[in-house]
Structure 1
Amino acid sequence: MLDKRSAITIAGALTLLTSLVACGTADTAPTSENGLTSLTIGSMESNSLSFPYTIAQEQGFFHGAGLQVDTVTATSGPQLTAALIGNTTQIAIGTPENVMGAMNQGQQITAIPPFGHIDMSLVTPADSGIADVKSLRGKQIGVVQRGSASERFARTVLSSNGVDPDSVTYVAVGSGATMEPAVRNKKVDATVGSTSTVVMMEDHGIEFRTLASPFDGTAGELGDVGLQTFWTTTEDFAQQNPDTIDEFCTAMNKAAEWIADDANRGPGTQSLSTLLQIPTESAGRIWDRTHLSWSPTIDEPTWTANVDWILGDGSSGIPFAGAVMPECG
């Protein structure tokens, strides 16, 4: 279940975002003046996790599928899930820890493609003297916040390498701008960061050694099956608007295919540079590590593994058949 902090965060986000006006109602997708179906979409602001959504807009994939999208941006997963639950949006990007927590509390949410592969790496400054995961015993690891998916990632990596996860100290360092000073000032010995966060710190002169990452096969089974994001809608909206959901998936899956094609690296890195407000060279390094991260489908074992990882023992479980649209479009 969601812990108290997550529940409070979602409630606060809902209060914040329900003041925004959605296009249409919770149950139906209206038609715009130009004959396209209108959708209000919740997306992350200036975040590489929403990159396929940006490409779908820029490349005209939504219009090609018969959709006109209006975007409600937010800075966090809890805000986006709250907006979806409160009918401010009809479809929204979601993170497993927030969406699965809400599902486990009884919220009628459906996960839809594309499904984003886990993007977390455990890194240490090159001058730390830490050579491998086993060297982290007794050290301090930076995580976004205590109890977050980044801490669970660190714990899982430690355990899979024979290190007691409780033998280290976890320090909440936030992400991006707040993580960097903690690393630079030696407040932590290693940290868990997304590709874009690590690249940003590298651009500011910090050299890293990667200890565990899904991108080089060193994060174990979690690195193979872990999810970072997927898209979501409510069960009611999906049931009453199956064609609209299919059109959304069509556009987004085309965007994921476009990103996966390295022939699009040039315009893709320029788009990513604009989205993240970073140099094109930096965007290129993010592209090279992550452009194969999105899939148009998911199978039941992968979903179940993520539910078990996020919710752990004591959860009611989230059946695949009732919660996931494994493929569409």
Structure 2
Amino acid sequence: MSRSRSTLAVVGALVSVGALVACGGPESATAEDGFTSVTVGNMNSNSLTFPLLVAQEEGFFTDVGLRVDTVNSVSGPELTAALIGGTTQIAVGTPENVMPAMAQGQDILTIPPFGRLDMSLVTLADSGIEDISALAGRQVGVVQRGSFSEKFARSVIADHGLDPDSVTYVAVGSGATMEPAVRNRKVDATVGATSTVALLEQHGLDVRTLANSLDGTGGEAGTFGMQTMWTTTAPFQQQHPGIVDGFCTAMNRAGAWIADDANRDAGAQKLSTLLAVPQETAEKIWDRTHLSWTYRIDQEKWDKVSAWVLEENTSELPYTDHVMTDCGEEL
């Protein structure tokens, strides 16, 4: 997504939360039972927020004395806007929404766990497209124009020596709207997250993967790409360091739990419920993504993701100003 488009999305979402902010955001409070409440922005029914579900259901928040109240949003811009406005105190974020807000001067901190870029470029097995070089002159489905999905497609196409502008990019949405576009051959290939590809397969589509950010075939973007991180504001962290540290500890434990394949059956059951998919589909998603979360990112990765998102000099997003490198217990 271009910087201007991301920025407009965040600003637009800020307008929608303005009334809430004017009335005052929620305050963290310690109840009589000793637990401290914190309000967290979340994307409901989305595998990118899987660690939050695990931390809740496995009692990791309880272990650190936190009671997490979630506020579900339907989009990344809404999540970032609510965090900036004070409606939430911690929120899941995506680089394409968080980094433009940072570049505008918003005092946002990123905290773990950080999620690797999870995108695949796929085509129907009988499409006649054997590799990326055959995409010239074809139509590729993306969630929306200028989105991360289009950035990924352009990146892997360029990595294979093909001019990204030789391909036509078509906005097909995700999940329920992407599936019929592929089935009815409105596009020749499409970009989707692991859960989206699993949905295509669940609906009986035989797909061939041309590039995948998680298996080493996603080129440079697959190496450095980041799809999600958790965020808070610098003022909240300064005022409530114990809450933020406890949140990080619980989420790091969740990431470690997900990385342990001994939890595959239980994890797949959680994913099945979260995404409303059959257990078999959830198991495929687990197998492909359970190593996706990490405790920290280094400055090189941060700078590369920033450059990818903002498409310009990233000196305005200093790593040390926006990344907490020692938040919570590392596992």
**Which residue in 2 is equivalent to 1:44?**
43
Distance 1:17 1:271 in 2: 31
Q: Which amino acid aligns with 1:223?
A: G
**Deviation per residue, 1:106-150 (Å, 9 max, x gap):** 111111100001001111111110000111111111111111111
SS at match of 1:114: strand
Distance 2:316 2:285 in 1: 34
Write the mapping of 1:10-89 to structure 2, written as runs, cut at 5 A.
Answer: 10-17=10-17, 29-89=28-88
Distance 1:16 1:25 in 2: 14
Q: Which amino acid aligns with 2:295?
A: P
- Measured after TM superposition, the shift of residue 225 of structure 1 is 1.6
Distance 1:302 1:91 in 2: 22
**Deviation per residue, 1:140-179 (Å, 9 max, x gap):** 1111111111111011101111000111101011111111
**Which residue in 1 is equivalent to 2:90?**
91
Distance 1:325 1:314 in 2: 22
What's the TM-score, normalizing by structure 2? 0.94
**Which residue in 1 is equivalent to 2:241?**
242
Q: Which amino acid aligns with 1:318?
A: L
**Which residue in 2 is equivalent to 1:6?**
6
Task: For structure 2, list consecutive stretches of 5 or more residues without a partner in the other structure.
Answer: none
- Measured after TM superposition, the shift of residue 3 of structure 1 is 4.6
- Measured after TM superposition, the shift of residue 16 of structure 1 is 3.7
Preserved contact between residue 142 and residue 190 of structure 2 (Cα < 8 Å):
yes
Preserved contact between residue 2 and residue 309 of structure 2 (Cα < 8 Å):
no
**Deviation per residue, 1:191-214 (Å, 9 max, x gap):** 110000110111011111000002
Distance 2:114 2:228 in 1: 6
**Which residue in 1 is equivalent to 2:253?**
254
Bigger drift between 12-21 and 313-322 goes to 12-21
- Measured after TM superposition, the shift of residue 187 of structure 1 is 1.1
- Measured after TM superposition, the shift of residue 240 of structure 1 is 1.4
Distance 2:4 2:307 in 1: 20
Q: Which amino acid aligns with 1:38?
A: S
Q: Which amino acid aligns with 2:290?
A: H
**Which residue in 2 is equivalent to 1:204?**
203
Write the mapping of 1:176-325 to structure 2, written as runs, cut at 5 A.
Answer: 176-313=175-312, 317-325=316-324
Distance 1:21 1:54 in 2: 27
The 1:302/1:2 distance shift into structure 2, 3 A limit, reads same
**Which residue in 2 is equivalent to 1:150?**
149
Task: For structure 1, list consecutive stretches of 5 or more residues without a partner in the other structure.
Answer: none
Q: Which amino acid aligns with 2:227?
A: Q
Computed over aligned residues only, the root mean square deviation of the Cα atoms, in angstroms, reads 1.9
- Measured after TM superposition, the shift of residue 25 of structure 1 is 5.0
Identity of aligned residues (%): 61
The 1:21/1:60 distance shift into structure 2, 3 A limit, reads farther
SS at match of 2:112: strand
Distance 1:75 1:25 in 2: 20
Distance 2:202 2:20 in 1: 36
The 1:132/1:317 distance shift into structure 2, 3 A limit, reads farther
- Measured after TM superposition, the shift of residue 180 of structure 1 is 1.0
- Measured after TM superposition, the shift of residue 105 of structure 1 is 1.3
- Give aligned pairs, total: 328
The 1:312/1:3 distance shift into structure 2, 3 A limit, reads closer
**Deviation per residue, 1:192-250 (Å, 9 max, x gap):** 10000110111011111000002221111221221010000011111111111110000
SS at match of 1:206: coil
Distance 2:119 2:65 in 1: 35
- Measured after TM superposition, the shift of residue 8 of structure 1 is 4.0
What's the TM-score, normalizing by structure 1? 0.95
Write the mapping of 1:116-155 to structure 2, written as runs, cut at 5 A.
Answer: 116-155=115-154
SS at match of 1:217: coil
Preserved contact between residue 117 and residue 228 of structure 1 (Cα < 8 Å):
yes
Preserved contact between residue 125 and residue 207 of structure 1 (Cα < 8 Å):
yes
Distance 1:78 1:95 in 2: 9
